[in-house]
């Protein structure tokens, strides 16, 4: 199958391509970017005039709910949603039920994703058995089974010595360690950022120090263990500064932020609006601005969806008891592009944070449009205005504060290994 | 994008599209005139207790459900008396609920009761925001009064406190008020602070150890003191809070003795306040923990008046909420 995408504007930060160019695909791989090869006769030609042609997105944090919570969502439903969001590869944390702490679990998740045929799923293996923070997992075997890193999910390894050993062991095999730095004691039963809003609404709070203490500990352990590490979902201005300094001193650490942290603050919670309940919590304008600045200067490499689909009733509860998280796969790209439109982020930086950078973090050959490489491609109409509505979503989770909003920029087509995994139906 | 998004205040839901009060969930964001109107109406109900016939037909034919997910005999009883004096039919429900998806959710319970033609819910729950949740999922003609939600708000308590202050002091201007104790966990304190601020007292102080003062409390328009003696100086109104015994297990406060030595209201400390200061407490009192018996029962104490006033103020709030739609009964002038 040969495909020609003509007339589009190719944005491929990994190859420093940012111009109008045709893209030729043959046998699932990129054949050329630019002038068509003589004699290239496509079976299908896609007119991408006025469209942007990007590498397929790689999302470093998406919960698929399978295994264990199939009533909320499945690998099939969520990988289809990912494809609709232009995502061709995604990373899922190991905090499923059962936990991904054996090669069999990792294989099962990858097999199910493959048989669905939408986006590729790259599981994270558990750092400790059952995420209990006590015994190390068979990390090398998990890596053999396709785990692109190890993580303890949102559960902190409380014992610092075990954490250090886990990181040392992972570094033995150069397996990336995904960290969610939160001090569990300071986090307590908190549900919102500690500040003006928690005080006014009387909600249990998570202080900034819950994150900075966690980041300080983890940075110290990265330094002593040498483990290639990824700090997931940073939320505080102070921790951006700490990571910046650590990176300047050469620590092998990369960082991601959830897209909603770049757009929202604690004020959006208003009157106990549970749609805005996320962990780490939405923080202040100062924090949001510092996170954006971090993306701009490269301290934060990656923007991810932190996709967490829930059933319809999960958010219909008092704030403290409502479910946590946003179903974000299908809004990741348009929301990121909103930062480009408003002049906050240059286009190439935004696209890199969704493609080449996350691919580099997990060491996969993706996130670029290099001839010879896999044809993972997202074609987006940057001017398409559309209303984000539950009935247009492919995800089973309809829990998003962006529902009902007009978004600008819509994925028209997603190709994984040269095969269309999503095509927007034209009305 | 986020900047264009409208950020709702937690007060908006309390008013209908004509600006009439529909629910009483929080004092935050309520206009001054609304609060003064409630106090004025309460004034007209206060003599009721002494009359031979203690009922008015304002809520005749209306059904009020006291829905208490947290046990409280005192508060529930004052709501019940208030509703009965307005001739409402009252149903008391002390419900328990599981805190997650197990069992009936809080909304299931409320919708079931609403289907039985309830006109007004009085809700108490241990989770902040419960009454907002309930109010936003009921049909527009059903009223909700928050009788305490988690640490968030207890607006009827704050209103009866305001009523007591106005009766004792004649008004709010120029007053210095100190709220003392566990501000962090107190829904009473939060509502008092909003009410005092809206009604225009001169100064609001909160006093307590730093473990019990929430962060950024200054944003609510108060001054925080950890030295009780400094904080009490020249205040006109002293509002004590109840300290839950379970907070005394050594993580927030070392011991009852130490707490009382620094933050207990004694005759000695009371001398620092203005000579005609009044002492208030929402009850029930922990004698010897937050307040000395001699002060609680002393001449500056208005604690029992607060209880009496509570009925008139709750009658006033109920009548105001129902008056918003029930035009045939005319204005609320008993």
B113-169 pLDDT per residue, tens: 888 899 999 999 999 999 999 999 999 999 999 999 999 999 999 999 999 999 999
A22-40 pLDDT per residue, tens: 999 999 999 999 988 889 9
Q: Is the pLDDT of residue A107 over 90?
A: yes
Give the residue, A117 or B147, on which the prediction is more confident. B147
- Give chain B's domain count: 2
- Sign of the C-alpha dihedral computed for residues B112, B322, A269 and A387 taken in this order: positive
| A195·B13 Cβ contact <8 A | no
Chain B residues in contact with A205 (beta carbon < 8 A): 214-215
Residue B61 lies in a domain: yes
Q: Is the pLDDT of residue B274 over 50?
A: yes
Give me the half-sphere count of Cα atoms (radius 13 Å) on the Cβ side of residue B228: 23
Q: Record the tokens describing residue B8, joined without a space.
A: 């709702």
| A270·B28 Cβ contact <8 A | no
Coil, helix or strand at residue A1: coil
Residue B51 lies in a domain: yes
Residue A18's H or E segment, with its range, is: strand A17-20
Task: Specify the pTM.
Answer: 0.94
Give catalytic residue positions of A: 306
| A319·B9 Cβ contact <8 A | no
Band of residue A128 on the pLDDT scale cut at 50, 70, 90:
very high
Per-chain mean pLDDT for chain B: 90
Q: Is the pLDDT of residue B229 over 70?
A: yes
| B100·A321 Cβ contact <8 A | yes
Which pLDDT score is estimated for B98?
A: 55
| B100 and B159 within one domain | no
Q: For residue A202, give the nearest of B133, B152, B219 by CB distance.
A: B152
Antiparallel, parallel or unpaired: β A22-26 and A29-34: antiparallel
Please compute the mean of the pLDDT values over residues B45-64 and round it to a whole number.
85
Domains annotated on chain A, with CATH: 2-53+374-423 (2.30.40.10), 55-362 (3.20.20.140)
Which pLDDT score is estimated for A66?
A: 95
Residue A387's H or E segment, with its range, is: strand A377-387
Residue B334 lies in a domain: no
Q: Is the pLDDT of residue B331 over 70?
A: no
| B50 and B18 within one domain | yes
| A271·B8 Cβ contact <8 A | yes
| B152·A198 Cβ contact <8 A | no
Band of residue B329 on the pLDDT scale cut at 50, 70, 90:
very low
Percent of chain B predicted with pLDDT > 90: 74
Chain B residues in contact with A270 (beta carbon < 8 A): 7-10
- Residue B153 contacts A, CB cutoff 8 Å: yes
Band of residue B91 on the pLDDT scale cut at 50, 70, 90:
very high
Which pLDDT score is estimated for B324?
A: 47
**A interface residues, B as partner, C-beta within 8 Å:** 194-196, 198-203, 205, 207, 263-265, 267-268, 270-273, 288, 313, 316-321, 335, 338, 342, 405
Q: How far is B160 from chain A (nearest CA, A)?
A: 21
| B84 and B212 within one domain | no
ipTM score assigned to the predicted complex = 0.91
Antiparallel, parallel or unpaired: β B89-94 and B120-125: unpaired
| B198 and B168 within one domain | yes
Which pLDDT score is estimated for B103?
A: 55
- DSSP character for A386? E
| A268·B7 Cβ contact <8 A | yes
Q: Is the pLDDT of residue A212 over 80?
A: yes
| B147 and B193 within one domain | no
Q: Is the pLDDT of residue B5 over 60?
A: no
A351-361 pLDDT per residue, tens: 999 999 999 99
Residue A139's H or E segment, with its range, is: helix A139-144
Which residue of A lies nearest to B186 if distances are taken between CA atoms? A202
CB B159 within 8 A of CB B317: yes
| B159 and B149 within one domain | no
CATH number at residue B190: 3.40.50.1370
Which pLDDT score is estimated for B38?
A: 97
| B290 and B179 within one domain | yes
Band of residue B53 on the pLDDT scale cut at 50, 70, 90:
confident
Residues B209, B207: Cα–Cα separation, whole Å: 7
Residues B14, B25: Cα–Cα separation, whole Å: 7
A50-101 pLDDT per residue, tens: 999 999 999 999 999 999 999 999 999 999 999 999 999 999 999 999 999 9
- Residue B12 contacts A, CB cutoff 8 Å: yes
| A203·B130 Cβ contact <8 A | no
Which pLDDT score is estimated for B105?
A: 81
Domain containing B147 equals 2-153+308-329
Please compute the mean of the pLDDT values over residues A9-19 and round it to a whole number.
98
| B204 and B268 within one domain | yes
Q: For residue B10, give the nearest of A198, A272, A318 by CB distance.
A: A272
Residue B193 lies in a domain: yes
Which pLDDT score is estimated for B9?
A: 66
Q: Is the pLDDT of residue A427 over 60?
A: no
CA B287 remoteness from chain centre: 21
| B287 and B161 within one domain | yes
Q: For residue B1, give the nearest of A201, A270, A338 by CB distance.
A: A338
| B83 and B10 within one domain | yes
Q: For residue A318, give the nearest of B7, B129, B153 by CB distance.
A: B129
| B123 and B87 within one domain | yes
Please compute the mean of the pLDDT values over residues A313-328 and round it to a whole number.
95
| B167 and B291 within one domain | yes
Band of residue A374 on the pLDDT scale cut at 50, 70, 90:
very high
Number of neighbouring beta carbons within 10 Å of residue A37:
14
């Amino acid at each position: 199958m040969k495909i020609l995408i003509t007339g589009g504007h190719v944005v491929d930060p990994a190859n420093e391509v940012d111009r109008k160019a045709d893209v030729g695909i043959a046998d699932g791989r990129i054949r050329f970017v630019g002038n068509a090869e003589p004699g290239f006769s496509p079976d299908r030609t896609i007119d991408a005039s006025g469209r942007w042609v990007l590498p397929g997105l790689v999302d470093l944090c998406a919960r698929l709910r399978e295994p264990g919570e199939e009533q909320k969502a499945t690998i099939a439903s969520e990988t289809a949603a990912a494809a609709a969001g232009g995502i061709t590869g995604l990373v899922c944390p190991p905090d499923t039920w059962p936990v991904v702490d054996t090669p069999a679990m990792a294989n099962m998740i990858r097999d199910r994703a493959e048989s669905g045929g939408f986006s590729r799923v790259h599981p994270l293996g558990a750092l400790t058995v059952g995420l209990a923070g006590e015994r190390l997992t068979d990390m090398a075997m998990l890596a053999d089974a396709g785990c692109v890193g190890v993580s303890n999910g949102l559960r902190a390894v409380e014992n610092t010595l075990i954490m250090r050993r886990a990181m040392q062991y992972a570094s033995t095999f150069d397996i990336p360690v995904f960290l969610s730095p939160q001090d569990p004691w300071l986090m307590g039963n908190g549900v919102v950022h500690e500040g003006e809003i928690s005080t006014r609404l009387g909600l249990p709070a998570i202080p900034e120090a819950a994150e900075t203490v966690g980041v300080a500990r983890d940075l110290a352990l990265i330094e002593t263990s040498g483990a290639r590490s990824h700090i997931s979902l940073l939320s505080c201005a102070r921790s951006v500064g700490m990571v910046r300094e650590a990176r300047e001193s050469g620590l092998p650490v990369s960082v991601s932020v959830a897209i909603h942290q770049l757009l929202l603050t604690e004020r959006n919670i208003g009157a106990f609006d549970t749609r805005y309940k996320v962990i780490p919590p939405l923080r202040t304008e100062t924090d949001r601005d510092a996170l954006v600045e971090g993306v701009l200067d490269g301290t934060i490499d990656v923007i991810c969806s932190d996709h967490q689909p829930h059933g319809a009733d999960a958010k219909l509860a008092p704030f403290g008891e409502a479910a946590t998280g946003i179903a974000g796969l299908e809004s990741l790209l348009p929301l990121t592009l909103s930062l480009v439109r408003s002049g906050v982020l240059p286009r190439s930086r935004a696209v890199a944070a969704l493609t080449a950078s996350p691919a580099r973090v997990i060491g996969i050959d993706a996130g670029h449009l290099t001839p010879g490489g896999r044809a993972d491609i997202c074609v987006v109409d940057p001017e398409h205005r559309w209303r984000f509505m539950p009935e247009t979503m492919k995800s089973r989770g309809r829990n998003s504060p962006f529902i009902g909003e007009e978004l600008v920029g819509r994925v028209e087509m997603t190709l994984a290994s040269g095969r269309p995994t999503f095509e927007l139906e034209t009305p | 994008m986020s900047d264009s998004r409208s950020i709702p205040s937690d007060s908006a839901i309390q008013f209908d599209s004509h600006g009439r009060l529909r629910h009483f969930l929080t004092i935050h964001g309520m206009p001054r005139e609304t609060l003064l109107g409630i106090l004025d109406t309460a004034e007209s109900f206060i003599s009721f207790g002494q009359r031979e016939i203690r009922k008015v037909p304002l809520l005749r034919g209306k059904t009020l459900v006291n829905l208490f997910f947290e046990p409280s005999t005192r508060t529930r009883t004052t709501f019940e008396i208030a509703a009965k004096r307005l001739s409402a039919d009252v149903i008391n429900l002390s419900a328990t609920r599981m805190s997650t998806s197990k069992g009936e959710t809080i909304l299931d319970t409320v919708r079931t009761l609403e289907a039985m033609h309830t006109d007004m819910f009085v809700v108490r729950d241990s989770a902040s925001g419960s009454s907002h949740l309930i109010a936003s999922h009921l049909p527009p003609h059903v009223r909700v009064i928050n009788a305490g939600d988690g640490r968030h708000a207890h607006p009827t308590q704050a209103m009866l406190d305001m009523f007591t202050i106005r009766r004792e002091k004649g008004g709010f201007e120029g007053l210095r008020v100190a709220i003392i104790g566990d501000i962090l966990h107190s829904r009473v304190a939060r509502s008092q602070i909003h009410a005092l601020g809206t009604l225009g007292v001169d100064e609001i102080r909160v006093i307590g150890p730093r473990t019990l003062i929430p962060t950024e409390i200054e944003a609510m328009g108060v001054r925080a003191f950890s030295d009780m003696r400094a904080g009490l100086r020249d205040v006109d109104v002293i509002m004590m809070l109840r300290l839950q015994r379970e907070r005394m297990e050594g993580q927030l406060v070392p011991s009852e003795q130490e707490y009382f030595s620094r933050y207990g209201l004694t005759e000695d400390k009371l001398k620092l306040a203005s000579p005609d200061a009044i002492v208030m407490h929402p009850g029930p009192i922990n004698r010897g923990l937050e307040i000395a018996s001699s002060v609680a029962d002393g001449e500056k104490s208005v604690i029992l008046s607060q209880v009496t006033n509570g009925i008139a103020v709750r009658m006033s709030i109920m009548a105001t909420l129902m008056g918003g739609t029930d035009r045939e009964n005319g204005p609320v002038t008993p």
